[in-house]
Amino acid sequence: MPESSSHPMPAEQLGELLQILLSAERAGAKVAGESLRQSEDDAQRALLQQILQGEGDSCRHLLNCLNHLGLEPNRDTGAFYAKAMAIEPLEERLQFVDRGQQWVIRTLREHLPGCDDALIRAELEEVLRIHEQNSAAAHN
């Protein structure tokens, strides 16, 4: 994981952070989609649909960042996927998913101060907003 700093983040470090986040978002989207197919509870389904939408939107924001930097996006799905899907029952998996949302929030809050590119900053702030909203919904 790239080190955080209030100083401008070097391009290589920013690229690494974006790739890590993209892999994590892919994993989150995959978990949300498969969990949605497994759920028969209306409240769970609504939350999972919101998370699925947010993870997909976050992937698009991160892809915009990588494209802006001229970097080829990885094709990886983060390890979060296998860990999450091994958890039964679904209620416990959703708690694990929220911990993933919290990780993204912490990571972005830690690294945003070092991001001086306006487009990337705006895209990452939107990813942060999405995750804060989804985490809050998980606690309602």
109 in a structural domain: yes
End-to-end CA distance of the chain, in Å? 31
105 in a structural domain: yes
2 in a structural domain: no
101 close to 137: Cβ distance less than 8 angstroms: no
Could you give the residue ranges of the DSSP H alpha helices within the chain? 11-38, 42-69, 80-85, 90-111, 118-138
Does 3 have pLDDT greater than 60?
A: no
User: How many other CB atoms are there within 10 angstroms of residue 92's CB atom?
Assistant: 11
Average pLDDT of 59-80?
96
80 close to 35: Cβ distance less than 8 angstroms: no
Total tally of structural domains belonging to the chain: 1
Give pLDDT tens digits for 88-140: 999 999 999 999 999 999 999 999 999 999 999 999 999 999 999 999 999 98
pTM given for the model:
0.93
1 in a structural domain: no
70 in a structural domain: yes
Q: Is the dihedral of CA 128, 131, 133, 139 positive or negative?
A: negative
Say if residue 37 is exposed, middle or buried (CB neighbours under 10 Å; 0-12, 13-18, 19+).
Answer: exposed
Average pLDDT of 62-87?
96
45 in a structural domain: yes
Phi then psi dihedrals of residue 138, to 5 deg: -70, -20
Domain of 37?
11-138
35 close to 48: Cβ distance less than 8 angstroms: yes
Give pLDDT tens digits for 22-63: 999 999 999 999 999 999 999 999 999 999 999 999 999 999
46 in a structural domain: yes
CATH code: domain of residue 132? 1.20.1260.10
Looking at residue 87, its pLDDT comes to 98
**Contact partners, residue 43, CB within 8 Å, separation at least 6:** none
